[in-house]
Amino acid sequence: MDPLIAGFLDHLSVERGLSANTLSSYRRDLLRYEAHLGTKRSSLRNASRKDVMDFLLRERDRGLSPVSVARELVAVRMLHRYLVSEGSVDKDVTEALESPKLWKRLPGYLTQEEVGRLLEAGGAGDGEELLRDRALLEVLYACGLRASEAATLTLEGLDLAQGSLRVRGKGSKERFVPIGSRARRALGSYLAEVRPRWAASATRAVFVGRRGQALSRIGVWKVLRRAARCAGITKNVYPHLLRHSFATHLLENGADLRVVQELLGHSDISTTQIYTHIEKNRLRSVHARFHPRA
């Protein structure tokens, strides 16, 4: 790895406090960028705007999703800005670059009926595993959690009496999220009947596996995929799809975008605005129903 990239990643870890998952993603993206520059007989110190564009187009052409290509652009842009601020290069070659609109796509989501089937199915395990899986799925949907947030949820973060969770999100930022009655009941049953028998004494994680250790992000993903198969849902179901569904259903039922932003833990409203198409559709529906000349 180029020492400039290593220094940038150290900067993100120490000074920006980015999570290990985010750092891992940026590291992979930037190593691909470095390899691309090598094929162009270029380097970070003399890269051009064309080098960056060629890299992004190559990534798109090899089948990377628009979201992934846009994320790579963010990583490359942050790197070049850092290099300028450190005096390693004179010019930020990404300054004039914008994410092409064709890279932006609306998030997929499950319908409310599909979510109902998913939560009802729960999974394919035995009684104890089914209680754990249903509790996990209910919490994911009720609170709009990321997989990593569910995996790192601790007993200290639960306040079932008040109906809220304390969640540690990206950048170790904490937020409080309300939890609905159905999720509270499912979580209460799991905590009373399953977790005491499964959990190792040292772990404080809410969701654990049979061996007593905290459920991993991959474990969360596997639970969701298993439940989707049992529910007969043919869509590609993954934890963030349930998070998108959480936000979409809130907006469909009249929630304010700023409230959804806070519940999701987005630091910038522009991140939440990917859901504004839902709000526009709702406004059109209201207009069509109630305007006398609609």
243 carries an active-site annotation: yes
CA–chain centroid gap for 9, Å, is 21
Which is catalytic among the residues 26, 33, 190, 275? 275
266 carries an active-site annotation: yes
Alpha carbons 249 and 174: distance in angstroms, whole number: 23
Q: Describe the crossing of helices 20-39 and 49-61 by its angle, rounded to 10 degrees.
A: 110
Choose among 202, 203, 158, 155: nearest CA to 183. Answer: 158
Which is catalytic among the residues 80, 146, 184, 249? 146
Which is catalytic among the residues 58, 60, 77, 170? 170
11 carries an active-site annotation: no
What spatial distance separates the first Cα and last Cα of the chain, rounded to whole Å? 61
Which is catalytic among the residues 27, 225, 240, 282? 240
222 carries an active-site annotation: no
Q: CA angle 229-233-236, nearest 5°?
A: 90
Which is catalytic among the residues 80, 132, 249, 266? 266
H helices, E strands: number in the chain: 14, 3
Q: CA angle 284-286-292, nearest 5°?
A: 100
Which is catalytic among the residues 80, 195, 226, 243? 243
Tell me what percent of the chain is helix, strand and coil, each rounded to the nearest 5: 60, 5, 35
Active site residues: 146, 170, 240, 243, 266, 275
